[in-house]
Amino acid sequence: MSTLVIYFSFNGNTKYLADTIADTISADSIELKTSKQYPTEGLKKFLWGGKSVLFGEEPALLNAPMDVNKYETIIIGTPVWAGSFAPPVKSFLSQYNLHGKRIALFASHGGGGAEKCFAKLKKAIPDNEFIGEIAFVDPKKNPKDNSAKVIAWAKSLSN
């Protein structure tokens, strides 16, 4: 069964989860990259990123074209931005019409909004089977506590 982990990460937390999941189940993994540069420091990053979500932006992806058809399972990861998923994930979902897939969702957040984020993701790609979802609070800060949890979750997806 072929599985793709696809994710965006701004500060490395979602990437930490994605790397752990892909290693655990030997999945292919692709990090979404954009030409749009968000400010990386201080309040500016929240203002620009939040505005980008609210305006429904779909920043251009720098990734090479992907063959999503070859994957039965797609595991999508995002940081929670303004109670939603990050704009590069929106770009991916618009560009690749996912249907008939097994989909799992994971997110990293600062303390709230993951449920809303998952609900919006599911609404964006309705014609799929959702097999799991999990959220972590800034997991990179605490890898010891989080790695067992994310590994167990990744393994549960193939059951």
Using the contact rule CB under 6 A, the part of the chain among 55-63, 92-100, 107-115, 151-159 near ligand FMN is: 107-115
- Contacts of 38 by beta carbon, 8 Å cutoff, 6+ apart: 10, 45, 48, 49, 52
Helix or strand holding residue 136 (H, E): strand 129-137
Largest pairwise CA distance in the chain: 43
Is 143 a binding residue for ligand FMN by CB under 6 A? The answer is: no
Is 118 a binding residue for ligand FMN by CB under 6 A? The answer is: no
User: What 3-state DSSP class applies to 69?
Assistant: helix
Using the contact rule CB under 6 A, the part of the chain among 22-30, 81-89, 90-98, 119-127 near ligand FMN is: 81-89
Q: Which member of 19, 25, 29, 50 binds ligand FMN (CB under 6 A)?
A: 50
- Residue 45 sits at φ, ψ, to 5 deg, of -65, -35
Q: Which member of 73, 108, 134, 157 binds ligand FMN (CB under 6 A)?
A: 108
Is 14 a binding residue for ligand FMN by CB under 6 A? The answer is: yes
